[in-house]
Amino acid sequence: MLESDLSLTASIDDPSEGRRLSVVDSAVYNEGRRVASPTSLTETYRSLREQDGGMAWIGLYRPDPAELASLAEEFGLHELAVEDAVQAHQRPKLERYGDTLFVVLRGARYLDAAEEVEFGELHLFIGRDFVITVRHSESPDLSMIRRRLEENPELLARGPEAVLYAILDAVVDGYAPVVAGLENDIDEIETEVFLGDPKVSRRTYELNREVIDFARATAPLTAIMDALSGGFTKYKVDEELQRYLRDAADHVTQVNERIDGFRLLLRDILTVNATLVAQRQNEEMKTLSEISNVQNEEVKKISAWAAILFAPTLVGTVYGMNFTTMPELSWQFGYPFALSLMAAVSVVLFVVFKRRGWI
């Protein structure tokens, strides 16, 4: 059964317990070759005891506390490590409890359709004759790692540490497509910034959050690699396995450097975008001001002409009342005087408005 074939089954029956187990694949190896494929934890324990120098590799997917308690009792797992494996949501780390290593890794994969990064969590218990892998998500896919190791019995015969280093190497190699996907997203954002896309700020912020989450998955690996490297001499780690770890450590360094570059680039993009937005706003304000000025000039002209036309209208309105006792009604020059007064007032107003630039 492959560890990724969760659509077929995510668990198998344990006839001794009468309940469902989260065991995706369980195998016992001797000298790098699979000698047993137990269908329950109880059978795995029994098969491992029957082998002289054998190793059990038990792959679990979202196990319940009872299953981990069974494994803890059989292999002497520390309760704090078991608790972390049950709760999940741990940052990458390495803890040593006696002869058992507890390692937390976070795999990542880039989803092209959604243009986002999906993270997975993997817990490993590494002992003298066992490897227990606990996954809480679909990734990383351990079936390929298991197949590759089974196709190389000489490497698998080096024991549980070979499994640990192979998994570390595979998880780190899986970061390469994520880096490529993030780089492509950043290139697209740079184009959108200069095209003035109004949604680019939100997308930049969301991408920056993904880069930060990615950094949280990769940055702690440096300390994990250093801790493992520091135990090469003490635990007499095979030279081939040391090469595996050094290769993975180099890749981690490269990934972290790229992530640092992404964060700086995204920060610069946000700065440039803010500058461009401010420039566009200033240009819009300038345009609005120019339009307002034009409107003000038109209002001035209209107001000036309205005032000029209002003056003769007022005079004409007064003289149009036709009261009997009004002055100048019986005057011979009354009509010419009224017209002259209208013209004079209009000319005076015209000259005043002209000098003030209203006309």
Does residue 58 register a pLDDT over 80? yes
More confident residue, 352 or 156: 156
- Distance, CA of 20 to chain centre: 36
Does residue 138 register a pLDDT over 90? no
Task: Indicate the domain borders of the chain.
Answer: 1-161, 288-355
Long-range contact pairs involving 35-40 (C-beta distance under 8 Å, separation at least 24): 39/12, 39/13, 40/12, 40/13, 40/14, 40/15, 40/16
Average pLDDT over residues 157-180: 92
pLDDT tens digits for 230-282? 887 777 778 888 888 888 899 999 999 999 999 999 999 988 888 887 777 78
Average pLDDT over residues 121-148: 90
Q: Name the amino acid, one letter, at 154.
A: E
Domain at 1-161: CATH architecture: 2-Layer Sandwich (3.30)
Does residue 328 register a pLDDT over 70? no
pLDDT tens digits for 81-104? 999 998 878 899 999 998 899 999
pLDDT tens digits for 171-201? 999 999 999 999 999 999 988 888 878 788 8
318: alpha, beta or left, given left = phi > 0 and alpha = psi -120 to 50?
alpha
Full 3-state SS string of the chain: CCCCCCCCCCCEEECCCCEEECEEEEEEEECCEEEECCCCHHHHHHHHHHCCCCEEEEEEECCCHHHHHHHHHHHCCCHHHHHHHHHCCCCCEEEEECCEEEEEEEEEEEECCCCEEEEEEEEEEECCCEEEEEECCCCCCCHHHHHHHHCCHHHHCCCHHHHHHHHHHHHHHCHHHHHHHHHHHHHHHHHHHHHCCCCHHHHHHHHHHHHHHHHHHHHHHHHHHHHHHHCCCCCCCCHHHHHHHHHHHHHHHHHHHHHHHHHHHHHHHHHHHHHHHHHHHHHHHHHHHHHHHHHHHHHHHHHHHHHHHHHHHHHHHHHCCCCCCCCCCCCCCHHHHHHHHHHHHHHHHHHHHHHCCCC
Q: Dihedral of the CA atoms 243, 244, 250, 253 (nearest 10)? A: -140
pLDDT given for residue 10 in this prediction: 36
Spatial separation of the C-alpha atoms in residues 338 and 252, rounded to whole Å: 99
Contacts of residue 299, defined as CB under 8 A and 6 or more positions apart, other chains included, come to none
Q: What are phi and psi of 29, to 5 degrees?
A: -115, 150
Does residue 162 register a pLDDT over 80? yes
Q: What percent of the chain has pLDDT over 70?
A: 90
pLDDT given for residue 55 in this prediction: 95
pLDDT given for residue 284 in this prediction: 79
pLDDT given for residue 232 in this prediction: 77
For domain 288-355, say whether CATH 3.10.20.740 is its number. Answer: no
Does residue 144 register a pLDDT over 80? yes
